[in-house]
Amino acid sequence: GTQTAPVQMDVSLRRARRAREKRPQVLCGDGYSLPFASESFSLVLLVALIEHTSRPWDVLREARRVLKPGGRVVIVVPNDVVMSAGRLMLGKFPIRYPDHLTFVTPARLRGWLGGDFAIKEKFPLPFRFLPFSVNLVYFVVAEAV
């Protein structure tokens, strides 16, 4: 329970330090306060990230800040229900990934993107023809407005 977040943070920091040693251009930053000037990027990738935050709307707001007008954010979020069912079938506990702090659905994600972004593409994966409720992940490309 309460020890998961600090332990995960320690692991993440160790990984970031090792990556920085191998590649000096690696920068470790805070998703709530990115160390970049406003309107610096044309693309921001948030792949399997926002479910690990307690305030995904703030991460998206910060992504919007660093995006140039017309820049895009690519977001991939897991379906926690399907993943938890898989963990249960495999006998893995806890059933829900303990480092997933926020339950993300397509509707919630649309709300968090709000007026800062216009969704250009959205679909579940790996089976586009099936609803998100039975897929593994949701993929979104949104443009900064």
Per residue in 1-16, pLDDT (tens digit) is 344 444 455 666 777 7
What are the pLDDT digits (tens) for 92-103?
888 888 889 999
Contacts of 28 (CB under 8 A, 6+ apart): 13, 16, 17, 20
Q: Are 76 and 141 in contact (CB under 8 A)?
A: no
- Given strand 41-47, what is the order of strands in its sheet? 41-47, 67-78, 137-144, 117-125
Whether this model's pTM surpasses 0.85: no
